Amino acid sequence: MKKFLNKVDNMLVESLSGFGTAHADLVSVNFEPTFVTRKNKAKNKVVLISGGGSGHEPLHAGYVGKGMLDAACPGQVFTSPTPDQMLAVAEATHADKGVLFIVKNYAGDVMNFEMAAEMLPFEHATVLTSDDCAVINSTYTTGRRGVAGTVIVEKCVGSLAETGADLQTCKALGDKINQRTASIGVALTSCTVPANGKPTFDISETELEMGVGIHGEPGRRREAMREADAIVGDMVAAIVADFTAKNLPLKGEILLLVNGLGATPLMELYLIYNTAAKLLGAHGCQIARSLVGNYTTAIDMAGASITVCLLDEEIKQHWDSEVHTPALRWGC
Amino acid sequence: MKKFLNKVDNMLVESLSGFGTAHADLVSVNFEPTFVTRKNKAKNKVVLISGGGSGHEPLHAGYVGKGMLDAACPGQVFTSPTPDQMLAVAEATHADKGVLFIVKNYAGDVMNFEMAAEMLPFEHATVLTSDDCAVINSTYTTGRRGVAGTVIVEKCVGSLAETGADLQTCKALGDKINQRTASIGVALTSCTVPANGKPTFDISETELEMGVGIHGEPGRRREAMREADAIVGDMVAAIVADFTAKNLPLKGEILLLVNGLGATPLMELYLIYNTAAKLLGAHGCQIARSLVGNYTTAIDMAGASITVCLLDEEIKQHWDSEVHTPALRWGC
Amino acid sequence: MRTAFILSASQAIHAAIVANEAEIESLDRAIGDGDHYVNMRRASEMIASMQSELDDQPVDVVLNKIGMKLLSTLGGASGPLFASFFMAMGKTAKENGHESLLQTAAAFAAGVQAIIQRGKAGLGEKTMLDVLIPASTTFTTLAAQDKPAKEIAEALKKTADEGLESTRNLIATKGRAAGLGERAIGHLDAGAKSCQVMIHTVCDLVLKG
Amino acid sequence: MRTAFILSASQAIHAAIVANEAEIESLDRAIGDGDHYVNMRRASEMIASMQSELDDQPVDVVLNKIGMKLLSTLGGASGPLFASFFMAMGKTAKENGHESLLQTAAAFAAGVQAIIQRGKAGLGEKTMLDVLIPASTTFTTLAAQDKPAKEIAEALKKTADEGLESTRNLIATKGRAAGLGERAIGHLDAGAKSCQVMIHTVCDLVLKG
Ligand SMILES: Nc1ncnc2c1ncn2[C@@H]1O[C@H](COP(=O)(O)OP(=O)(O)O)[C@@H](O)[C@H]1O
Ligand SMILES: Nc1ncnc2c1ncn2[C@@H]1O[C@H](COP(=O)(O)OP(=O)(O)O)[C@@H](O)[C@H]1O
Ligand SMILES: [Mg+2]
Ligand SMILES: [Mg+2]
Ligand SMILES: [Mg+2]
Ligand SMILES: [Mg+2]
């Protein structure tokens, strides 16, 4: 493992310090406990707090700012943050309209946020994201994982909260978007957790991992490496099948997000986008909004995920509204 | 080599097609010859055209749009584009105020743009960027290489051109920024040119390449891998020495760009930023503007470059002005 | 159970976690996300360093403080689970006492119950509970039979070994390996391994003392 | 020099480039950016496929069209250089004729001059010119002495070999290897290798014919 770091135990603090300095106009970074808050927060709005293990940058701290999150709690790499972080940041940011936690559906994240929520002395609710359709048989699992679709939830609920909407309305939009979103990822190489110093899994030059998680968790299947069109074809088919299974046929306007997992060149992401857009178009979708880049990563994994969100007027309006965060900015 | 591609010879076309679809609101992509033009170009402005080998995405096509480039000519991976591309795109975009080529200083790019310029039937000028201070002994070289500093030139000259400034004024700003900018890169791994299928250079787990070029060209030295602080210390020292050598002492307000070369996690880029910002601060600089992310890549190289631009009011104003391109957007 | 014992156990556990780095780490890499060892190392180091702060505190306070510290240093899935374990153990120790082996077994059982409640998992889901639930049963049964501490310690080590081994051929239905289906078969669970290591360590202290 | 010869040379050159893939590619990887082989393959394939379009054209037109096509397909540093070579060769062939060996040598020399002008390099800068300049001298000298074609071909092959070999111990002062300083020493130049391959190929056609 070769990485830009000093002592591995200091990596998170040093990186977050740099993040705080680079974006001092937008965010403040706090340590002990660790959290990132938005500067110039609008008053009298539902406070949006997300968090999760580090290693998925720019998720979540990169989405703190106007029109998106009010705060993020970064955990150690691939390790959920702890309840003291959430309590402290909720204390530091809340006003009178309550706190909405946006949590990716992993046992650790769920339990840590749950414990924080139980201790929270004011109104709160939680949106659990679970857009990953990689895991086929739901009897195997406590639920699906939250992956890149979380960005869409954070963006749109952030926009709604900015209008002064109340807690339940914000939660409802988050739940709706999660329901209308499906993702699937594929890995060509493993990620390496810095503290481990070795790749999480072995994978040969002739294999890929279909349905990989954003922590390098194994996916649907180890498969033979093949042409991009064939890989993307299978990914799109999985997404389409997921919408069908949800009784929500995939047609009409969609948002197509092609997300790099950390080490995939933009050139390849656009190539994936090209194929995905054609296939989804042929399936009867109009690609009304697009996002291509590294938005939810798995440290240094070469791989990509495809996320489709079935739009409606409400989601589209909130996707389009002003946002100004370190990693997502438009309209201002 | 594992990459998301179909036939390697079609990779560029497929990727650019995806790019064109994903950003259809901002750009148009043309083939035979290959070029990318801005939609909704303001009339009556100097036309800014850049280009170079592909593999550095988002450079240059990602910077086509309002407040930045009017067009880009992508070549094959790491191969300069050809004069017919530049001639066709100049023909397609020019108005009456002339054409300004922004060219990174590589023999191939320079010669191809030169031949195009010689054939161009209207007013034109060229800004050659050469911000890479990695090459120490200038007697060895026809000139320094243009790297990530090119983004700053394209942004600021783009802003100036938008105001209706004339060709020579635009060129003068580009030359000034180039003069006031220095960069240096370091590689932890090699890039792999898709058509080659193997890494451009071999590098062990215990080595780094200091001063690497954005095509994987060897740099100053092969050195021992070490702590990030030590690596960044040497990079900052090289940049400071370069300003000193130019008789332009590095103090006062600067723009600090920490650029990922393609496979470096954002977490590491912010860690680099953290150290660089401290060192430059201690040197007497104020970091007035920052940019951290993948802005000028070397395909899938794990590595990073640091760029410092010595600001003045004019540069700062043009850096801050509205920009709306696929890869850089603010103020609108 | 006395404070001095808990404190020396916490030192020994830290050492044992570090000694088992390779195995714990590789298990979570194989079917999890690879952070379990680092988290356990960080947290057990933190607990071991609380020595002076806990020295003269009553057992229930010590257990509760350990739980609270775990809650804020471990993170991940195991953080809230181990934290809940110690906090519940402390609560029961306070309410029911902790002098006898039976009281200690009851506190342990309360801890395991807290994990079950927090994680909503049970036996056979390929988690730490596959070690902890049988261990709790063994502990309570033998303590109720007034068996001597050393016999109970030997029995607990054996139960922990069997519980760990039982995770090998299970499909996971909780935690990160839950998406894996058949692919989880053949691998031991990382959290179960940590628990087996910790139970061994504590039991070895009993056997030595 | 006749059109038929140029066309069969272009086929042979395409085959020779492909046959030398490993070496050309690895040279540009070592001290360049690794694209030279792919570019040469793409461009030589393109020229080879122009057969029917060039078939009945005069020599100067053929050379010029090859140059123009290279200009729009090769790219990189070698694109404008090889393009300039062929366009200048065509121009001189048109102005001075191309029937005799001496006329052909003159056209070749004009091509090399065009490369020098475009790239502003000279001998000893570790570029293709280290093959082309000596080759041009040999060609012109021997043609002026009215040596037979086969003797000239043999001599040109030898000159090309020596020129290529001469790049090994040079520091580069032009092109991508220019930043390398001493580190370029020990490596042959990729563009010089392509030129040596192409000269060998054309000379072998002469020797066979
Ligand atoms: N719901 C649950 N109930 C009991 N134990 C669980 C549960 N979920 C996960 N675990 C245990 O936690 C272990 C993983 O812990 P750790 O690696 O620290 O957290 P994470 O899975 O969040 O990375 C698993 O090996 C398993 O033993
Ligand atoms: N100024 C120059 N004059 C002559 N030949 C040059 C010059 N610059 C580069 N070359 C030749 O071009 C070759 C590289 O070509 P190529 O790899 O196609 O282009 P690039 O260097 O742009 O990637 C070098 O090996 C060298 O022989
Ligand atoms: Mg984890
Ligand atoms: Mg090149
Ligand atoms: Mg884990
Ligand atoms: Mg090259």
Task: Please state the three-class secondary structure of chain D as a single string.
Answer: CCHHHHHHHHHHHHHHHHHCHHHHHHHHHHHCCCCHHHHHHHHHHHHHCCHHHHCCCCHHHHHHHHHHHHHHHCCCCHHHHHHHHHHHHHHHHHHHCCCCHHHHHHHHHHHHHHHHHHHCCCCCCCCCHHHHHHHHHHHHHHHHCCCCHHHHHHHHHHHHHHHHHHCCCCCCCCCHHHHCHHHHCCCCCHHHHHHHHHHHHHHHHHHHC
**DSSP secondary structure code for residue B301 in this structure:** B
Measured between alpha carbons, how far is A122 from B262 in angstroms, rounded to an integer?
44
Q: Which residues of A touch C80 (CB under 8 A)?
A: 83, 108, 111-112, 114-115
What is the number of other CB atoms lying within 10 angstroms of the CB of residue D68?
15
**Catalytic pick from A23, A124, A215, A318?**
A215
Handedness of CA D70, D71, D75, D78 (dihedral sign): positive
Please indicate whether residue D78, judged by its CB atom, sits closer than 6 Å to ligand 2.
Answer: yes
Measured between alpha carbons, how far is D65 from D63 in angstroms, rounded to an integer?
5
Q: Given a cut of 60, is residue B232 above it in pLDDT?
A: yes
Q: Which residues of B touch A2 (CB under 8 A)?
A: 188-189, 205, 208, 225, 302
Query: Has B56 been annotated as catalytic?
Result: yes
Chains touching chain B, criterion 3+ CB pairs below 8 Å: A, D
B/e letters for C115-146, b = 16+ CB within 10 Å, e = fewer, are bbebbebeeebbbbbbbbbbbbebbbebbeee
- Complex ipTM value: 0.95
Q: Strand B99-104 to strand B181-187: parallel, antiparallel, or no bridges (unpaired)?
A: unpaired
Helix axes C78-96, C190-208, angle to 10 degrees: 40
What domains does chain C contain, in order, with CATH numbers?
3-208 (1.25.40.340)
Q: Which residue of A4, A16, A255 to mutate against B (max B Cβ within 10 Å)?
A: A4
**Residue D33 CA, closest ligand 2 atom number:** 23
Q: pLDDT value at position D168?
A: 96
**Residue A109 CA, closest ligand 1 atom number:** 22
Q: pLDDT value at position A222?
A: 93
What domains does chain B contain, in order, with CATH numbers?
17-180 (3.40.50.10440), 181-322 (3.30.1180.20)
With bands split at pLDDT 50, 70 and 90, how would you rate the model's confidence at A220? confident
With bands split at pLDDT 50, 70 and 90, how would you rate the model's confidence at B86? very high
CA distances from A295 to A13, A170, A292 (A): 21, 22, 8
Q: Given a cut of 90, is residue C173 above it in pLDDT?
A: no
**Catalytic pick from B60, B94, B215, B318?**
B215
Amino acid at A35: F
Q: Identify the residue whose C-alpha is closest to ligand 2 atom 13.
A: D191
With pLDDT > 70 as the criterion, what percentage of chain C qualifies?
100
Q: Given a cut of 70, is residue D103 above it in pLDDT?
A: yes
Question: Edge-to-edge, what's the strand order for the sheet holding B221-224?
Answer: B221-224, B207-210, B181-187, B303-310, B252-260, B285-293
Q: pLDDT value at position A140?
A: 46
Query: Has A56 been annotated as catalytic?
Result: yes
Q: pLDDT value at position B139?
A: 46
Q: Which residues of D touch B135 (CB under 8 A)?
A: 178-179
Q: Given a cut of 80, is residue D179 above it in pLDDT?
A: no
Q: pLDDT value at position B99?
A: 97
> What average pLDDT does range A200-213 have in this prediction?
95
What is the number of other CB atoms lying within 10 angstroms of the CB of residue C95?
12
Q: What is the pLDDT of residues B178-209, one digit of tens each?
A: 999 999 999 999 999 999 999 999 999 999 99
Residue B166: strand pairing partners: none
The region, left, alpha or beta by phi > 0 then psi within -120 to 50, assigned to residue B237 is: alpha
Q: Which residues of B touch D118 (CB under 8 A)?
A: 111, 114-115
> What average pLDDT does range A313-324 have in this prediction?
98
Q: Identify the residue whose C-alpha is closest to ligand 2 atom 1.
A: D119
Residue with tokens 């690609």: A287
Tell me how far the alpha carbon of residue C34 lies from the centroid of ligand 3, in angstroms: 7
Q: What is the pLDDT of residues C13-32, one digit of tens each?
A: 999 999 999 999 999 998 88
Q: Given a cut of 50, is residue B324 above it in pLDDT?
A: yes
Q: pLDDT value at position A256?
A: 98
Handedness of CA B88, B89, B93, B96 (dihedral sign): negative
**DSSP helix/strand/coil, B76:** strand
Measured between alpha carbons, how far is B18 from A276 in angstroms, rounded to an integer?
9
Q: pLDDT value at position B140?
A: 46
- Angle of CA points D163, D168, D172, to nearest 5°: 95
SS (HEC) of D70-81:
HHHHCCCCHHHH
Q: pLDDT value at position B94?
A: 85
> What average pLDDT does range B304-315 have in this prediction?
98
> What average pLDDT does range B128-150 have in this prediction?
80
Q: Which residues have a Cβ under 8 Å from the Cβ of C208 and sit 6 or more positions away?
A: none
pTM over 0.90: yes
Instruction: For B289, list phi and psi in degrees, rounded to 5.
Output: -140, 145
The burial of C63, by beta-carbon neighbours within 10 Å (0-12 exposed, 13-18 middle, 19 or more buried), is given as buried
Q: Given a cut of 80, is residue D191 above it in pLDDT?
A: yes
Measured between alpha carbons, how far is D154 from D204 in angstroms, rounded to an integer?
8
SS (HEC) of B189-236:
CCCECCCCCCECCCCCCCEEEECCCCCCCCCCEEEECCCHHHHHHHHH
Q: What is the pLDDT of residues A27-69, one digit of tens each?
A: 999 999 999 999 988 888 999 999 999 999 999 999 999 999 9
The minimum CA-CA distance between A30 and chain C, rounded to whole Å, is 15
> What average pLDDT does range C150-168 have in this prediction?
98
Higher pLDDT among residues B16 and A219, named by residue:
B16
- Angle of CA points C170, C171, C173, to nearest 5°: 120
Handedness of CA C122, C128, C134, C135 (dihedral sign): negative
**Contact present, B218 and B212 (Cβ < 8 Å):** yes
**DSSP helix/strand/coil, B29:** strand
Considering only CB atoms, A76 lies closest to which of C25, C39, C77, namely C39
Q: pLDDT value at position A139?
A: 46
Contact yes or no for B217 and D80 at CB 8 A = no
Contact yes or no for A277 and B16 at CB 8 A = no
Q: pLDDT value at position B142?
A: 61
Q: In this complex, how many residue pairs, one in chain A and one in chain B, have their CB atoms less than 8 Å apart? A: 185
- Of A269, A285, A261, A266, give the one whose Cα is nearest residue A228: A269
Q: pLDDT value at position A137?
A: 55
Q: Which residue of D21, D74, D176 to mutate against B (max B Cβ within 10 Å)?
A: D176
With bands split at pLDDT 50, 70 and 90, how would you rate the model's confidence at D124? very high
Contact yes or no for C79 and A112 at CB 8 A = yes
With bands split at pLDDT 50, 70 and 90, how would you rate the model's confidence at D43? very high
**Contact present, D37 and D74 (Cβ < 8 Å):** no
Q: What is the pLDDT of residues A272-303, one digit of tens each?
A: 999 999 999 999 999 999 999 999 999 999 99
Q: What is the pLDDT of residues C187-208, one digit of tens each?
A: 999 999 999 999 999 999 999 9
Q: pLDDT value at position A143?
A: 72
Question: Would you list which residues of chain B are within 8 Å, Cβ to Cβ, of chain D?
Answer: 9, 33, 53, 75-85, 106-108, 111-112, 114-115, 134-137, 139-142, 145, 193, 195-196, 198, 200-201, 211, 213, 215-219
Q: Given a cut of 60, is residue A141 above it in pLDDT?
A: no
> What average pLDDT does range A155-173 have in this prediction?
98
**Contact present, A147 and A307 (Cβ < 8 Å):** yes
Residues with CB under 5 A from ligand 4 (ion): B 78-79; D 33, 35, 76
Measured between alpha carbons, how far is A188 from A208 in angstroms, rounded to an integer?
5
- Pair of tokens at residue A210: 């279909």
With pLDDT > 90 as the criterion, what percentage of chain B qualifies?
92
Contact yes or no for D176 and B83 at CB 8 A = no
For all residues of chain B together, what is the average pLDDT? 95
Q: pLDDT value at position D176?
A: 77
Residues with CB under 5 A from ligand 3 (ion): A 78-79; C 33, 35, 76
Amino acid at B103: V
Q: Mutate which of C73, C81, C85, C117 to test ligand 1's pocket (most atoms within 8 Å of Cβ)?
A: C81
**Contact present, B275 and B229 (Cβ < 8 Å):** yes
Say whether the peptide bond before residue B60 is cis (omega within 30 degrees of 0).
yes
Query: For D106, what's the count of Cα atoms within 13 Å in the CB-facing half-sphere?
Result: 14
- Of B150, C99, C69, C39, give the one whose Cα is nearest residue A215: C39
> What average pLDDT does range A86-102 have in this prediction?
94
Q: Given a cut of 80, is residue B26 above it in pLDDT?
A: yes
Considering only CB atoms, B57 lies closest to which of A12, A205, A267, namely A267
- Of A78, A118, A49, give the one whose Cα is nearest residue C78: A78
Please indicate whether residue D76, judged by its CB atom, sits closer than 6 Å to ligand 2.
Answer: yes
The burial of B285, by beta-carbon neighbours within 10 Å (0-12 exposed, 13-18 middle, 19 or more buried), is given as buried
For residue C84, the surrounding DSSP H or E stretch is helix C78-96
Residues with CB under 5 A from ligand 5 (ion): C 28, 32-33, 35-36
